[in-house]
Amino acid sequence: MTSIDLKKTYRVHYTAKRTPTVVDVPTRPFLMIDGKGDPNTSSDYKEAVEALYPIAYGLRAAVKSATGDAYTVMPLEGLWWVPDMADFDPNDKSSWLWTAMICLPDAVTDEMAAEVIPAVTANKDLAAGPKARVEPFTEGLAAQILHIGPYADEAPTIARLHDFIEAHGHQLTGKHHEIYLSDPRKADPAKMRTIIRQPYREA
């Protein structure tokens, strides 16, 4: 049996510095659930997160059964946006659209997803399980930065990231992307580590 540490395999995309850097993000499969509203108050978001992890571990077990290989389940990620990203306000989350998601290895197949998602949903009685799907996601060129501290204090870090992109003559595109390296249930809020990523295109 081979044990695959996906955080090391995908290291360049799951580590960041406190100053902005550029990455080129390829297409990878993700387990996803969509929703709308403030994640701090939305029951839909809570249910989505509660569903993603059991399903992700179910897919891990399916890959191990099929190939003999085990892999690290990746951290929770979130895409956040509004219909017009010019109106995106980090301090007003009530109108946000979101996708909660977990990156998967290429070994996860459509057939596995079609079998595992409903089985785990039924076994664990997951309210958001029927909304889960596996599909490819890519961003291409993006800038990212490490934020240390509470989610509520991200606005200055986001501003630095956006200023970096614009200072290099690029325009923001795509969706605001966060990768949660710390478990908020266990971590000291002042020490939580979050990668903030923003795709861009040349002006």
Write phi, then psi, for 174 (nearest 5 degrees): 70, -155
Q: What percent of the chain has pLDDT over 90?
A: 82
- For residues 104 and 30, the answer to whether their CB atoms sit within 8 Å is yes
Domains, the chain, ordered by start: 3-202 (3.20.80.10)
What is the tens place of the pLDDT at every residue in 22-47? Answer: 999 999 999 999 999 988 888 999 99
What is the tens place of the pLDDT at every residue in 74-122? Answer: 999 999 998 877 777 777 888 889 999 999 999 999 999 999 999 999 9
Q: Which residue has the higher pLDDT, 126 or 41?
A: 126
Residue of 163, 172, 162, 158 whose CA lies nearest to 202: 172
Of the CA atoms within 13 Å of residue 90, those in its CB half-sphere come to: 14
**What b/e sequence results for 101-126 when a residue is b if at least 16 CB atoms lie within 10 Å of its CB, and e otherwise?**
bbbbbebbeeebbeebbeebbeeeeb
What is the tens place of the pLDDT at every residue in 50-82? Answer: 999 999 999 999 999 999 999 999 999 999 998
What is the tens place of the pLDDT at every residue in 129-153? Answer: 999 999 999 999 999 999 999 998 9
The structure's pTM equals: 0.94
Q: What percent of the chain has pLDDT over 70?
A: 99
For residue 66, is it left (φ>0), alpha (ψ between -120 and 50) or beta? alpha
Angle (deg, nearest 10), helices 110-124 and 43-67: 130
* pLDDT value of position 129: 98
Residue 1: pLDDT band (50, 70, 90) is low
